[in-house]
Structure 1
Amino acid sequence: MTPLTTFALVLAVLFFIAGFVFTVFPVLPGILIIFAGMLVYGLLAGFENLGLLFFVGQAVAVGLSYLADYAAGVWAVKKYGGSSAAVWGSIIGVLAGIFVFGPFGIILGPFLGAVAGEILAGGAPSRALRAGIGTLVGFLGATGIKLVIGAGMVVWFFSRV
């Protein structure tokens, strides 16, 4: 292993660690950071072992993580009794929450959005609170799924280098 390859591998591992941290504490998109670590490795060490199929597969994994994030939130809001208004409120809450609450907006935004959406649609406050709790359950479930996807991505990377 050349010094440049070693440096590239160490840098990739740092990206992977940061990616897992940001998956659990969603300030930045953790799965994208993991993917970026693979790209950095390829740029520095060469793409001999990481071909087009590898990166297409990794991109699909990134897409699946975002789909899981969305689907888990919607499923949990519905499971906890939220209406379509609560689902839309949680989606809007994610976007608005980031700007209003910063990093904590990823958690607070969907919760408050689901509660507000349910109340605006005429739902009872208890139902609105359950829908908000559903967003938290969905967030935790999606985080677990993203950690599994990220681990699979990293294992695949190390099986190739």
Structure 2
Amino acid sequence: MQIIYWLLVAVMLLGVIGSVVPAIPGSSLILGAIIIWGIISSSFAAIKIPLIVTVIVLLLSIGVDFLAGYIGAKKAGASKWGQIGAFVGLFLGFFGLLPTLPFGGPLLGVLLGPLLGAIIGEYIYQRDLGKAVKAGIGITVGTLIGNLLQGILAVSAVVVFIWTTWTQVYGG
């Protein structure tokens, strides 16, 4: 039982990483691991609190994801073109399709892709490189802050799970 418990905690830690790194499922992995633990331990009463906390974290993460990028974009004066460019840059960066990134893999692409995409999108829209760079930085900073907040929320869900189920695995 302990091996399964720690395997599920490892899946949850992967979920914490996924809440910070785009394209890896974050809170949904944590939620899935908690549900699996409830099924395996035959004690859904023991996971009621972590389940509620994780569902709240999942909903908050979705809200933070949208709001952080949006607020960063608005503060920097970005248009929809910059936001679309950031999304395209994220996609291209994650799959290593940026011609300027033959090294670094998807993690570097995930960091630089949205920045370059937002700058290019804003430049196409405004034809002002200074405003485009400012908007690109705003979108990227907003997204990074959002990812950090999602990571904190995900860690809290894992801590609550371990806190509430520890005695179920290791006794009093």
Q: Settle same-fold status: TM greater than 0.5.
A: yes
Q: Is the 8 A contact 2:27 2:54 kept in 1?
A: no
Unaligned runs of 5+ in 2: 99-104, 166-172
In the alignment, which residue of structure 2 is the partner of 1:119? 123
* Distance across 2 between alignment mates of 1:72 and 1:37: 27
Relative contact order, CA 8 A, sep 6+: which one is greater? Answer: 2
Change (3 A) 1:106 1:39: farther
Bigger CA drift: 41-50 or 67-76? 41-50
Q: Does residue 1:40 correspond to 2:36, yes or no?
A: yes
In the alignment, which residue of structure 2 is the partner of 1:147? 151
Classify the secondary structure of the residue corresponding to 2:78. coil
* Distance across 1 between alignment mates of 2:119 and 2:39: 46
Q: Is the 8 A contact 1:78 1:87 kept in 2?
A: no
CA drift of 1:68 comes to 0.9
Q: Is the 8 A contact 1:26 1:103 kept in 2?
A: no
In the alignment, which residue of structure 2 is the partner of 1:107? 111
CA drift of 1:9 comes to 2.0
* Distance across 2 between alignment mates of 1:8 and 1:24: 25
In the alignment, which residue of structure 1 is the partner of 2:137? 133
* Distance across 1 between alignment mates of 2:29 and 2:23: 11
* Distance across 2 between alignment mates of 1:34 and 1:149: 11
Q: Identity of aligned pairs, percent?
A: 29
CA drift of 1:137 comes to 0.8
Q: With the length of structure 2 as denominator, give the TM-score of the two structures.
A: 0.74
In the alignment, which residue of structure 2 is the partner of 1:70? 66
In the alignment, which residue of structure 2 is the partner of 1:81? 77
Q: Does residue 1:158 correspond to 2:169, yes or no?
A: no
2:6 maps to amino acid: V
Unaligned runs of 5+ in 1: none
Q: With the length of structure 1 as denominator, give the TM-score of the two structures.
A: 0.79
